[in-house]
Amino acid sequence: MKGIFRGGCTTLLRESIGNGVFFGVYEYVRYQMHSNIKVSSSNYSNLADIGVGIASGGLGGVAVSMLITKHVFFMM
């Protein structure tokens, strides 16, 4: 059983940086978009929430990929 978890701490440290960047950007963008969007009708509030979630997740993914790309290019 010990062999299954070998390297788990290293993987946790490696992934924590990317996850921190992703969720930091996601929450920041989501907060800014929700504070700036004013939905005039309650019929479209769910649609606006979905759009904000998709845009926030996309920008979080872009931030992580930029971090990874920058890291890979500086290692060459």
pLDDT computed for residue 71 by the predictor: 66
Residue 36, in any domain of the structure? yes
Residue 59, in any domain of the structure? yes
Domain hosting residue 55, numbered range: 8-75
Residue 60, number of CB atoms within 10 A of its CB: 21
Going by C-beta distance under 8 Å and a sequence separation of 6 or more, which residues neighbour residue 23?
60
| Number of folded domains that form the chain | 1
pLDDT computed for residue 72 by the predictor: 63
Which carries the bigger pLDDT value, residue 38 or residue 21? Answer: 21
pLDDT band at residue 15, thresholds of 50, 70 and 90? confident
